[in-house]
Structure 1
């Protein structure tokens, strides 16, 4: 278990949230799958909920703001100044979907899309720092960009967030880890996904840790999910990719048993 008690460094993927068509069903699904409990985001939050493990926030779930939008897990990247980051995103060729705005006293945020259309959030912490527990069962442990435009995506995030990369391409699998500017720590990934269906946009994939990937994947299927990628071994442990009953996609992977 790793508990985070201070703000996340800039460019770190540090929060994920889900906009659901059926909030009650989403709550029940993840409570069963990961043992999440829920706390209201506040009386002005519009039914937004903080999913907790052991009294610490790990993710957010709320009603979908636009019923026409797909049901997805959105990855948020930390920013020390959302206004500055938003300007850098625009200068790098990205698009601001929602310009910076305050979320009560929780923080300040914006929504954006990179040059290839992958959507992500930006979060400047106030009273809410993002994920307070990571790298344990049911908590966030990795975020990676799946993109058809690999070199352009790397150039965009380098310019917008000052990140660098470690190339770990092997046997035709084209992948880089993302290194945040503060200390060079590897905090995410970029995958040249050549198998994305034509109707699936480039996207950020959320990975949750599991103490028993086979059991978590099996339970997800029992709860109405589909396995986009079956349980398999990888250099980082057992893993699977799940499409939940409302359509959102996420990965589960062996809990890494490391600090943040």
Structure 2
């Protein structure tokens, strides 16, 4: 429920750039279990907020915020990781979402003095959020082991996604390939900030809804996958080598999907 990733060099940052994914957080059915899992997997420490924030937990890497976690807030809400995109005007983004075929799930609201957030569905149904930073600007470290390194939209409607996110955030797009499959890079101010993975081929079943996948950097992808399994998680897509490094898609013990990447972003 909080929010930063800015520019191309994310090793340490202070001011998030609008249009750049700058925070991720986990909504989970077992907050205590999630804290145990992720602190062990990534070496995070957990800072639990007071009652004013409903026990929202900020994960720290070497004392710097990298991600958050909180309990499920509504019946039927899935255990999942959420991507937040930085903005300097959450209300303007909400208006653009509504005007471009998306859905405003949670209208912009203030999170005390921490910032302002809103939650949406894109036209294909993929959920995402925005964060307008206040006292809390978002993550303060990226692209090092244990920190956020990439955000990727998995969608069956690529053309619709390009039209939507281009209109909402001003992104432009470049075609490329990953592992021999089509892939698109989302550019913000001429820098790649996210990716779009077409949900094509036998690996995508009809029951998988479009979603944003979060990637955390690791020093060794195979070790991270094995560690995930040993901690009670699952390996959904085993370690695979691509041009930029080696990645795997995993799930925590409560079922939240995430990916790890060892290599250059």
Q: Is the 8 A contact 1:226 1:244 kept in 2?
A: yes
Cα 1:188–1:45, aligned 2, differ >3 Å: closer, same or farther? same
Q: Which residue of 1 aligns with 2:239?
A: 231
* Contact in 2 for aligned 1:168/1:175 (Cα 8 Å): yes
Q: Secondary structure at the match of 1:207?
A: strand
Does 1:186 find its partner at 2:195?
A: no
Q: Secondary structure at the match of 1:47?
A: coil
Which of residues 14, 23, 46 is equivalent to 1:5? 14
Q: Does 1:72 align with 2:80?
A: yes
SS of residue matched to 1:68 = coil
Cross-structure match for 1:18: 26
The counterpart of 1:126, out of the listed 125, 134, 139, is 134
Aligned position for 1:148: 156
Cα deviation, residue 238, structure 1? 1.1
Q: Quick check: 1:157 aligned with 2:149?
A: no
What SS does structure 1 have at the residue aligned with 2:55?
Answer: coil
Please point out which of 231, 250, 254 is paired with 2:258: 250
Counterpart position of 1:96? 104
Normalising to structure 1: TM-score of the pair? 0.94
TM-score using structure 2 length: 0.92
Structure 1 ranges of 4+ moved more than 4 A: none
CA shift for structure 1 position 170: 6.7
* Cα distance in 2 for residues equivalent to 1:62 and 1:255: 29
Q: C-alpha distance in 2, partners of 1:41/1:112?
A: 25
CA distance in 2, matches of 1:72, 1:169: 27
Deviation, structure 1 residue 42 = 4.3
Rounded Cα–Cα distance in structure 2 between residues aligned with 1:19 and 1:31: 16
SS at match of 2:206: coil
Cα distance in 1 for partners of 2:37, 2:116 equals 29
Worse-matched range after superposition: 191-200 or 231-240: 191-200
Contact 1:148 1:196 in 2 (8 A): no
Kept after mapping to 1: 8 A contact 2:179/2:243: no
- Unpaired runs of 5+ residues, structure 2, are 1-9
Q: Give the total of aligned pairs.
A: 254
| 210, 215, 227: which one aligns with 2:223 | 215
Deviation at 1:171, TM superposition (A): 7.9
Which residue in the other structure is 1:204 paired with? 212
How far apart, CA to CA, are the structure 1 residues paired with 2:153 and 2:85? 12
User: What is the distance in 2 between the residues matched to 1:65 and 1:235?
Assistant: 39
Structure 1: tracts of 5 or more residues without a match = none
State the Cα deviation string for residues 28-77 of structure 1 (Å, max 9, x = none). Answer: 00011001101134441100010000110000011111241111100001
C-alpha distance in 1, partners of 2:109/2:59?
22
**Are 2:54 and 1:57 equivalent residues in the alignment?**
no
Q: Tell me the C-alpha RMSD between the 2 structures.
A: 1.4
Residue 254 of structure 1 and its aligned partner are, at CA, apart by: 0.8
* SS of 2:88 mapped into structure 1: coil
Aligned pair 1:167/2:175, yes or no?
Answer: yes
